[in-house]
Amino acid sequence: MSVKRFVGINSREAMRQVRAALGDDALILSNRQVPEGVEILALADDEHGRMTAPTGVASPAVRSPSPSAGAWAGAQSSSEPEPPKVSDTVSVSQPGGQLPGDFAAFSERVLGEMQDLRALLASQMHTSSTPAGESLVDRLRQRLYAAGFGVRLAQELLETPPTELLTADESQAQAWLGRQLASRLSVLDDEDGLLDAGGVFALVGPTGIGKTTTTAKLAARYVMRHGARGVALVTTDSYRIGAHEQLRIYARLLGVEVHALEADAPLGNLLTRLTDKRLVIIDTVGMSQRDQRLAGQIAMLGDSQSGTECRPIRRLLLLNAASHGDTLEEVVETYQRASLAAGAPLYGAILTKVDEAPRLGAVLDIAIRHGLCLHYLSHGQQVPEDLSLAERDTLVQQALSVAGQSSFAIDMPIAPSPGQRIQALSRGLLGQGRTLAASLSVLRRQVSGFALLEEAWPMLGYPLEQQRARIPALLDIDRRVRHGQQEAMHHLLWGRTRPVNGTDWAMPALSLNAAGHAQAMPWLAHLQPAGESERLMWAEAELGPAWHLLPSCPGGLARDTLANLGMAWLAMAQANSRVMVASERHALADLSRDAEARTQLACRYRGRDARLALSRRAVALDDGERLHAWFGTLVESETGRPLGQRYWLAPQDETHEQCAIEAMVAQLIHDDLPLLTRRAWRLIGEASRTPLDPELQLLVASGLAAVASRLDQERNDWAMDVRTQVMAALGGRRTRSSTALLEGLMHMLTARDAFRLAGAQ
């Protein structure tokens, strides 16, 4: 075993040394502060494999496909090598050329060394007088516990932290944690829509939680918008002394109707008389979650009792934000079961007594794990001032900003019973479902066209006739443009007109945003006009990109079209492409030496961090049109290893030079999209059990390739979060790349279908 020590002035420098010496797959044993800076102990991944292999077989084990991967995972694994057959006698070479007498003993000895090393590191961590030896994940876990969040949610959040956290500072780590919580927390996003639509709402919950006061506050918010004529209040609380009178006082102050329903009286008849009221709020009797009469009380609020199918009763559960987490868990589980038995799940929740809660973590934990949509927060007795809309970022920030440790939070492992293990498995699956839903929700918000890609994905399993019947809606230009409104198209990346190698289809054109990153908006080549100029005019009329990124220099007629319409363009060229300089024809490769250096910039190219040096010189085409020839030299950032030379042609326009440079980078970083699309096409085809419509298959394949490329290229926080979950979907340890992200996306979409299918059964 060869454990190596690396010391750098910071984590980034130390990790650079690790990658240079041991590669990207090195096993990190520890990461701690030392007087010289940061110390990392690491082990080469292949040595780790030799230590942990129980049989001593030299060839790598084949990774089993993820159970959630669906049918396509089987197609993927079929291309992997079969595990070798092992004979009864295995000869294994030991370092130094000696054969061990007992390989099992050798393996145990090495593992013992590993355990001793880990014990030593753990001892150093516990005896350290500063928290430097404590891992960042441990600190985040303790932060969650201190805020009141439970163990289950903490495990779900921190199970697969992004590798970027290894070099992140405390503030970046806290921001990441906040994003994970916010992405899982569901809140009411459109209060105006809720109040404008109206309906029948029943406030339910335990005794003394503030239902009557909250009823008045909700009514007041409606009255301030729409007046008092359209609202009515109903109380079913005949148990609590003065309950009817309290609501009547509020109703008189607001100028709204109030009706008292006696015990066991049918609710449907009253609701029928109130059909002219846009909003009806029912203040129900408070009842403990352990009261045997609870199910019957909730059943009275069932939809069938409303007297009309068009006005279902929506049950809003009130939760005491100051309650203990176990109490809240029991309340939600009991009321949800009763609500489902009455015909529908809980519509959402309102948090009360927020002003009395020392920590909000417990109630937010419950809302996240049970999928409750938080509508409002009640934080006082004043009507209507002390009711506010639930805002996810504010709630999460408030929860995490609590100071000090909780006297009741402890991370103590307890051996679970068999029944508890089954429950833990179920909750684990629910946690995976929440993580999956959060990641897909982020992609829908951030990547134009992803919602259409999600819509198209399950169609791959439909019968061929249904596929063809649904394709026109997916290809409708107006609909696709509307789906792209969250981030405007800036570049249009054109593919070559000839088929991609090994296929019979041409690469679709692809929309890019202003940052030069791909959108899930492919435009199939065979549906575009035939002529070069006609395609450009079609794109200008239908899509309106700011830049056209062309695969080759356009012809004279196409250049005239571009100039007449005022369209900016850039074209890839080859090393042997010939241009005119001083009345002589030269290959571009021969002109790069005399080009004028313009800039150097960083980019990510085919899974590597790279640097691109750009230079240019004036040239002319055979017909005399003056252009700029651009030359790009690409090298790997860390090693300086050359990655290639690139060439472009563009109009001579000094005012848009920076835009042209950004367009070159955008075109360069996507030059692997045809290969990535071909990979997706083949995986989809191999997994399909039914015939596939080629248009649908290409639309999905190119969309998946675009999203995978986007995730690899993006440096924003949301992309780091989603990228981590996509890579985790693959299982095992995979180096980040567009190909790995593509396969992870397919796993996630397949898992989403599996969760939906399970929920429908």
What number is the average pLDDT over the span 598-625?
A: 93
Q: Is residue 610 part of a domain?
A: yes
Sequence-separated (6 or more) residues with CB below 8 Å from residue 160: 724, 725, 727, 728
162-178 residue pLDDT tens: 877 777 788 888 889 99
pLDDT band at 126 (very low <50, low <70, confident <90, very high): very low
Using CA atoms, how far residue 264 sits from 267, 282, 300, 337, 744, in Å, is 9, 15, 8, 21, 55
Any domain includes 467: no
Q: What is the C-alpha to C-alpha distance for residues 179 and 313, in angstroms, rounded to an integer?
A: 33
Domain around 7: 1-56+106-124
| CATH code at position 386 | 3.40.50.300
* CA–CA–CA angle 652, 653, 658 (5° rounding): 120
Within-domain flag for 461: no
Give the pLDDT band (50/70/90) at residue 676.
very high
* Residues 349 and 375 reside in one and the same domain: yes
Do residue 291 and residue 439 come from a single domain?
A: no
Residues belonging to the chain: 761
User: For residue 97, what are its two tokens?
Assistant: 């050329």
Pair 25, 151 in one domain: no
Looking at the fold, whether 276 and 293 belong to one and the same domain comes out as: yes
pLDDT at residue 76, as a whole number: 43
Res. 463 pLDDT band, cuts 50 70 90: confident
Residue 545 lies in a domain: yes
Is residue 370 assigned to a domain? Answer: yes
Domain boundary among 610, 645, 671: 671
Average pLDDT score over residue span 679-706: 92
574 and 699 together in one domain: no
Q: Are residues 560 and 649 in the same domain?
A: yes
Reported as a single tens digit per residue, the pLDDT across 539-574 is 999 999 999 999 999 999 999 999 998 999 999 999
The structural domain count of the chain equals 5
Domain presence at residue 581: yes
Tell me: do 580 and 442 sit in the same domain: no
The alpha-helical segments, DSSP class H, found in 370-417 are: 392-400
Nearest to 642 by CA among 662, 613, 599: 613
Domain annotation covers residue 465? no
State whether 203 and 260 are in the same domain: yes
Residues 608 and 739 in one domain: no
Pick 191 or 450 by higher pLDDT. 450
Residues 214 and 347 in one domain: yes
Compute CA 258 distance to the chain's CA centroid, rounded to the nearest angstrom: 46
Q: Is the pLDDT of residue 295 over 60?
A: yes
pLDDT, one tens digit per residue, over 57-96 is: 333 333 333 333 334 444 444 333 333 333 333 333 333 3
pLDDT score at 242 = 57
What is the C-alpha separation between 348 and 107, in angstroms, rounded? Answer: 55
Same domain (yes/no): 641, 493: yes
Res 160 pLDDT > 70: yes
Mean predicted confidence (pLDDT) in 98-111: 40
Q: Are residues 196 and 251 in the same domain?
A: yes
Last residue of a domain, one of 671, 686, 705: 671
The label of the residue with tokens 């596939």 reads 692
585 vs 163, higher pLDDT: 585
551 assigned to some structural domain: yes
